[in-house]
């Protein structure tokens, strides 16, 4: 009886672990990846705002310096988002969780061939 209980207990733990991995995968696919993409897009817009300010204020040194700082912080923001995406995918890969991007309802990858 003890052996049967041990096998049953292991199967229950495996099914719970599968459910936990599914939840982690869906959180990554639905919340984390889109949030990182959105923040990267915001940093990208901030970068171009800095470029616009830099070239628009060529005659004013203060505006050019502000544009230069905006460009620098936009680049830093994009680098942070790329680094966060890389670290998250490394962690997911370590635990064997699927790292593909968001999917459509018919499970066709949105980003085919990326991060497989």
Domain spans of the chain, in order of start? 33-116
User: Can you read off the two tokens belonging to residue 90?
Assistant: 């490394």
Write 46-49 long-range contacts (CB < 8 A, 24+). Answer: 46/70, 46/73, 46/74, 46/77, 47/71, 47/74, 47/75, 47/77, 47/78, 48/74, 49/74
Residue 1 has pLDDT above 60, yes or no: no
- The Cα-based distances of 105 to 19, 99, 111 in angstroms read 19, 17, 14
User: Can you read off the two tokens belonging to residue 99?
Assistant: 């790292």
Tell me the mean pLDDT in the region 34-61.
93
Q: For position 29, what pLDDT does the model report?
A: 84
* Residue 71 pLDDT grade (very low, low, confident, very high; cuts 50, 70, 90): very high
């Amino acid at each position: 009886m003890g052996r049967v209980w041990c096998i049953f207990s292991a199967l229950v733990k495996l099914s719970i672990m599968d459910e936990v991995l599914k939840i982690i995968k869906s959180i990554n696919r639905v919340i984390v990846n889109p949030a990182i993409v959105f923040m990267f897009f915001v940093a990208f817009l901030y970068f171009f705002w800095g470029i616009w300010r830099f070239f628009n204020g060529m005659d004013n040194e203060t505006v050019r310096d502000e544009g230069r700082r905006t460009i620098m912080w936009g680049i830093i923001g994009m680098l942070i988002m790329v680094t966060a995406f890389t670290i998250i995918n490394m962690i997911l890969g370590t635990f064997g969780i699927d790292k593909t991007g968001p999917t459509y309802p018919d499970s066709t990858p949105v980003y085919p061939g990326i991060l497989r």
